[in-house]
Amino acid sequence: MKNRKIKPEDNNEKWEEILEEIDLKFLPLEYLKSITITFEDDTVWEIDLAETRKSQPEDRIEQSLDDLFSEFEGEIDNVDFQLDLEKIKKYVTRRVNYFLKHNK
């Protein structure tokens, strides 16, 4: 079998396609770059989690987000999560390599 070089842009498209198929019940904050919240009155809030992590511990961020979503539950129209695909790719690659190495 001949090795085929995968271009980085192809690789990112494949990861996006894989991630679109995953139904998440729990999303670890460490894999999020930002959250964009759109309210019914078209107000948009963007939360830069990469920046927020520099000043607050993750458990405090998580509690703040829980409080925010609870407080504005009836007013939120949409929530978009921007994933850190590089971080996810590294994690999945490590886990797959570990699995392949130890489960021959």
| All structural domains of the chain with their residue ranges | 26-102
Residue 36 token pair: 């964009």
E-state strands within the chain: 32-39, 44-48, 76-83
Tens of pLDDT, residue by residue over 6-55, are: 455 566 677 677 666 666 566 788 889 999 999 999 999 999 998 999 99
Give CA–CA dist 51/88, Å, rounded: 18
Give CA–CA dist 1/80, Å, rounded: 41
Indicate whether this model's pTM tops 0.85.
no
Give CA–CA dist 49/34, Å, rounded: 5
Whole-number pLDDT of residue 100:
85
Give CA–CA dist 7/25, Å, rounded: 32
